[in-house]
Chains A and B, each alone.
Chain A
């Protein structure tokens, strides 16, 4: 069966520090991968999605970037965090068949101080 792992679960970082959140998927090949941000426990905002290695599409201009160095690995990064980057970050995957549902990881709670 397929599983998705996100880490760390929680993170407290000072303003101006770098960020690296990692997500890996097991049990499937060539998944679509997604990064979402959720503010205040409501509303999921799509940040990035990837349909293949090295292929990243950005949905919202911001202080963050994403990379997909391997087929089942998706990384969310920032060179310098802002206070507004605080939130709950969720990674998700889907098979590439059209209209397949997304499956989410357990998220990373990021607090920028």
Chain B
């Protein structure tokens, strides 16, 4: 079945630093989504990508849909303490049921 590898598993950075995380899949995806989850809450959509090569920004966040359609990355610039949380990538293949495959998450901690 389809699998997603998300890395790194965790990051501990200084406030103001830039952050990069990525996901790779074993098969082609048609959609890549990036979510952030705060403790005790549901994941919140950050960025949605629908075309190979697409580069999309949302404030300090930038994500790209890999040209091979098997990978995506998320960058956070100038991190701040409220960036703390778990970041998930999710991809969707050719199924029309909307089922997403989720990565295992990247836990981000920011030291003030």
Contacts and interface: CB of A to CB of B under 8 A. Distances in A.
Contacts of B96: 98
Given A99-B31, A103-B45, A43 B40 contact: no
B98 A41 contact: no
A93 to B, nearest CB: 10
A100 interface: yes
Contacts of A99: 30-31, 50, 92, 98
B104 interface: yes
A51 interface: yes
- Interface residue range, chain A: 20 to 34
A101 B32 CA distance: 9
Q: Looking at chain B, what size class is its interface with the partner chain?
A: 20 to 34
Interface in B14-73: 30-31, 33, 35, 37, 39-45, 48, 50
Interface of B: 30-31, 33, 35, 37, 39-45, 48, 50, 86, 88, 90, 92, 96-100, 102, 104-105, 107
Interface of A: 6, 32, 34, 41-44, 46, 49, 51, 57, 59, 90, 92, 94, 96, 98-107, 109
* Top-9 shortest CB links A-B: A104-B42, A44-B102, A99-B31, A42-B105, A32-B98, A106-B42, A43-B104, A101-B48, A107-B42
